[in-house]
Amino acid sequence: MKLQRLMGFARRAIDDYSMINDGDKIAIGVSGGKDSLTLLYALSGLRRFYPKSFDLEAITVDAGYKESDFSGVKKLCDELNINYTVVETDIADILFEQRKESNPCSLCAKLRKGAFNTKAKELGCNKKAYAHHNDDVIETMLMSLLYEGRFHCFSPVTYLDRAGITLIRPLIYVDEKDIINFNKANQLPVVKNPCPIDGYTKREFTKQLIKTLDNDNPGLRGRLFTAIREGKIPGWRITD
């Protein structure tokens, strides 16, 4: 996928859900994975010509795994003229050494979000952007059905009362396969996830389930996304 197409998808989502206003300062959550690095490119490109002026900050929450190296991400941010901040934490030690969590994902996410929000506010950001893509949307909805018994999904735009910051998701129209192709074409400095349970989660199971169902029922993914957009899930009605 070329950069122009990527920015087109991102701009459509931003316009559909009024994600960006004049004067916004947006903190991009950069894990070092392919999704967040693609989001960096998309918002950096849009910043040059989008009719509403906005600033960007890139923030990585380092969980404390010794093998993590974010120097390549720093170089990319310098090339894109985006200020980059790494927040050092001891989250990995808390999860696996102190608490010895067998299912650490929920607590890990909570600790990461707290550290991220604190730094974003310190940097003067009023919004933060996560790199959730189209596959993430569908998987989250199906996980809600399978494990919670309800038809639900995160919203494209969410105001977080406790943090005092608005969360936006500009990549909701971008398929994961396109992000993978963009990653290969641009040789993004992806940082491998060092978490010992990476790839053994309920989300990974749901991803594979959707892949199997879509192979047997071509077009299923698109129909699932349509169900989300046209259903009554809060936040998904396109603004006028």
| Beta pairing class for 54-62 and 165-168 | unpaired
- Among candidate residues 138, 168, 137, the one with its CA nearest the CA of residue 43: 168
230-237 contacts at long range (C-beta below 8 A, 24 or more positions apart): 231/151, 233/141, 233/151, 233/152, 233/153, 233/155, 234/155, 235/17, 235/155, 235/156, 235/157, 235/158, 236/153, 236/155, 236/156
Domains in the chain: boundaries? 3-230
pLDDT tens profile 171-194: 999 999 999 999 999 999 999 877
| Beta pairing class for 157-160 and 165-168 | antiparallel
pLDDT tens profile 204-239: 899 999 999 999 999 999 999 999 999 889 999 885
Query: What is the distance between the alpha carbons of residues 118 and 120, in angstroms, rounded to a whole number?
Result: 6
Query: What is the distance between the alpha carbons of residues 184 and 189, in angstroms, rounded to a whole number?
Result: 10
- How much is the pLDDT for 93? 82
Q: Which CATH superfamily is domain 3-230 in?
A: HUPs (3.40.50.620)
Residues with Cβ within 8 Å of 102's Cβ and at least 6 positions away in sequence, in order, are none
pTM: 0.93
pLDDT over threshold 80, residue 6: yes
